[in-house]
Amino acid sequence: MSHSARIDGAARSGERLAHWGLLKTIGVGVLLAILAFGAVETLLRGWVYLIRDPSERFDTATGTFVLVPGSHPRPRARPFLVNSRGFVGDEFQDPAPSGTIRMVTVGDSCTFGAGTTGESYPGLLERHLNDAGHGRRYQVINAGIRGLNTELALRRLITKVMPLGPDVVTVYLGWNDLMKFEPMGQVEKPGIRILARMLDRLWVVKGMRKLLFYYLRPLVLTPATGPRSRTGAFRDYEPAVFEQNLRRIIATVRDAGGRVVLFTLPSVVSDDMTIEDLRRAQVVFPYYASAYGVGDLVDVIAAYNRAIRRMAKQEHVRLVDLALEIDGRPDRRSLFHDTMHPSQKGRELIARILVQRLSDL
């Protein structure tokens, strides 16, 4: 072999070694990044599941959040009580007394309310139904937990609610699906949906979205108002995953011999709101890049309400259209603390509407 050939061979060997060294460096870097991401994800899950709120924890056996029995303090308010069965309020007789209709209200923070009987629509509903004197007695159990989406609520329904043997289950859900799940993950497009839903399940991603869109975005960007705030992106939007979860909730209750009542989602948001109106009403926008305008947010909410109405019609279950009953009221803004959470006045109105719509059950 000539001297030049040996030199060329050595050069090629050096290039291969350098290339292999670069690949190893990249591989090690990727591995370290994955390990660091996994560590952060694990720490976040531990904080969310066990530490974030002493009144609730994540139950790994059932895959959903549960309430911790006991009295739990609140800032500048009286404590709220979780009974030994893990529901808001006082202990209840189980089984229900003979001749009593047991109604369980499944929902998120809008149902949980302030955590006390007199400050939640389920507690007010029970009192008003029994005061109405329709010849029957009602027991209304508040099964709401803050932050529940339809997937978590379905698991709570199966593991906690249905063992109570409810006659009626009301369903007031959708806000946490709407606000926290990227719309692409809700549609009927398997490839996009699967990837988006995988990201939605990561607490690192959830935390980054909340930091970016809830805390930082309002500091640098003003939400769009007026005609330019409606891009048309959500005009025909259908949240398919949300609908599938609702269908499973209905089937679960029906299979056990119960009846289902669906509620639509009333909101303080309206097309005519100005920037000052949004600030005064403490309107919160979804935790993703789109729908950062009044018109688009109205359209997203309308899409979820269409889905709820469609599901009620398809499954032949009762619908209480809270959005229809509340959204057009002149005192609408006094009925909410923010985008979706009813004020005490709003909770009292919801209870009165439900008495009118459910007293024949």
Q: Is the pLDDT of residue 18 over 60?
A: no
Question: 56-358: what fold?
Answer: Rossmann fold (3.40.50)
Q: What's the predicted TM-score (pTM) here?
A: 0.89
Q: Identify the three-state secondary structure at position 149.
A: coil
pLDDT above 90 as % of the chain: 65
What confidence category does residue 109 fall into, taking pLDDT thresholds of 50, 70 and 90? Answer: very high
Q: How far is CA 74 from CA 53, 71, 347, 348, in A?
A: 11, 10, 19, 21
- Whole-number Å distance between alpha carbons of 344 and 349: 9
Q: Residue 141 pairs with which residues in a beta bridge?
A: 104
Q: Is the pLDDT of residue 11 over 70?
A: no
For the chain, which residues make up each domain, given as ranges?
1-52, 56-358
318 compared with 198, residue with greater pLDDT: 318
pLDDT of residue 333: 95
Q: Identify the three-state secondary structure at position 40.
A: helix
pLDDT of residue 345: 96
R_g over Cα of the chain: 25
